[in-house]
């Protein structure tokens, strides 16, 4: 059995077995997705958040394109559009360095998805938006500074 077929089975093929288990009440539907990484999302500094996802070391890359406005009128909604041109990108991670909890989102791209995403994030204050791309077991990084005129975390 070649590698790509084996990988497919671990996702799609397993899905039907999992579906049967879910229907039988053995597995809860939420168990099918990767469990929410409470530890990583709970880290309060950029360094700790990066370490907790195994991205303490990340090479700067020009192949990660971050399209976001330099100035956000309100930090409650800051639109960020990311394209990773790093070959074989498996995930894109979004962090807002100065947020109370820097890790904002992690998108895993399985077979059939383009490593592209647009997401609206909350920024508590002007900060760098740091984007990581994971490919071939390594992390690559880029950042974009966004100035926020009014912070948007609430409270």
Partner 1 sequence: MADPMKIRAGLKGDIADVRVLMNHPMETGQRKDGSGNLIPLHFIQEIAVKLNGKTVIDAQISQAVSRNPVFSFRVKGAKAGDKLEISWLDNRGERNSTETSLA
Partner 2 sequence: MSLARWIPAAAFACACAGAAAQDAKKEIEKYQRMIADSSPVELFELEGEALWKKKQGPKHVSLEACDLGLGAGVLKGAYARLPRYFADADRVMDLETRLLHCMTTLQGHSREDATKRVFGNEDRLSEMEYLSAYIAGQSRGMPMAPGTSHPKEQAAFELGRKTFFYRAGAWDFSCASCHGEEGKRIRMQDLPVLYKPENARPVVATWPAYRVSNSQFKTMQWRLNNCFQQMRYPEPNYASDITVALTMFLTATGEGEPYRGPGTKR
How many residues lie near partner 2 (CB under 8 A)?
16
Min separation Cβ 80 and partner 2, Å: 9
Residue 120 as a binder of partner 2 (CB under 8 A): the answer is yes
Sole window of 30-38, 67-75, 84-92, 104-112 interacting with partner 2 (rule: CB under 8 A):
67-75
Least Cα distance to 145 among 48, 87, 59, 72 occurs for 72
Least Cα distance to 108 among 91, 87, 94, 93 occurs for 91
Q: Which residues of 2-36 are buried (b: 16+ CB within 10 A; e: fewer)?
A: eeeeeeeeeeeeeeeeeeeebeeeeeeeeeeeeee
Report the partner that residue 20 touches, choosing among partner 2, partner 1, none (CB closer than 5 to 8 A by kind). none
Residue ranges in contact with partner 1 by CB under 8 A: 11-12, 15, 29-30, 32-34, 36-37, 41, 76-78, 81, 96, 99-101, 103-114, 116-122, 152-155
């Amino acid at each position: 059995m070649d590698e790509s077929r084996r990988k497919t089975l671990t996702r799609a093929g397993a899905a039907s077995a999992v579906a049967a288990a879910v229907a039988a009440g053995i597995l809860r539907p939420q168990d099918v997705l990767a469990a929410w990484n409470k530890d990583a999302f709970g880290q309060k500094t950029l360094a700790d958040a990066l370490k907790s996802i195994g991205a303490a070391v990340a090479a700067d890359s020009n192949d990660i394109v971050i399209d976001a406005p330099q100035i956000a009128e309100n930090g409650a909604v800051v639109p960020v559009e990311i394209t990773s041109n790093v070959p074989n990108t498996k995930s894109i991670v979004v962090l807002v360095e100065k947020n109370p909890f820097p890790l904002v989102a992690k998108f895993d791209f399985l077979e059939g998805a383009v490593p592209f995403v647009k997401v609206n994030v909350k920024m508590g204050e002007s900060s760098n938006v740091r984007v990581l791309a994971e490919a071939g077991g390594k992390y690559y990084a880029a950042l974009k500074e966004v100035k926020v005129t009014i912070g948007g975390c609430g409270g």
